[in-house]
Amino acid sequence: MRDTARVDIGMGTLVGFVGLILLALAPVACSQGGGAAPDSGAGGGGGALSTLTCQQIRLCVAQTPCATDACIQGCAAKGTPAAKTAYEALRACTAGVCAVDDVNCACNEQCNADGACLAEVDGCLAMNATDDICDVLCR
């Protein structure tokens, strides 16, 4: 559920949301995703199993928390090609309107009714009814 009010996060909580900002703004090399939905269970290439959905990539980055591009790319590498494509679209949208260190901006653009990246969040969520980033971490 998205609020129409801006989300304000205190400095004590800011440390826990570093991963959210990096999630939204870090460069991630994506595979070309076919027509599959972002939450499809299709596996990736050889070697490691790539089964995370776009939402699971977001949660991996936020919950680890990732503070480096390598960490973020590690989470993204676990995603399906379609999930990586949806994640990159959300990251690119957020980076287009928010400074790298602006958690409030990232939460606002991804979670609030007037956010610029709502379509990308919806694309990332696919069939998921809840968004733990917006419903929990950005509260």
Query: Hey, where are the domains in the chain?
Result: 13-25+48-137
For the whole model, what pTM was predicted?
A: 0.67
* pLDDT value at residue 105: 94
Question: What gap in Å lies between CA 139 and CA 101, rounded to an integer?
Answer: 18
pLDDT by residue, tens only, the chain of 139 residues: 444 444 444 433 333 344 444 444 443 333 323 333 344 333 334 456 789 999 999 999 888 888 777 888 899 999 999 999 999 999 899 989 998 778 789 999 999 999 999 999 999 998 787 899 999 988 8
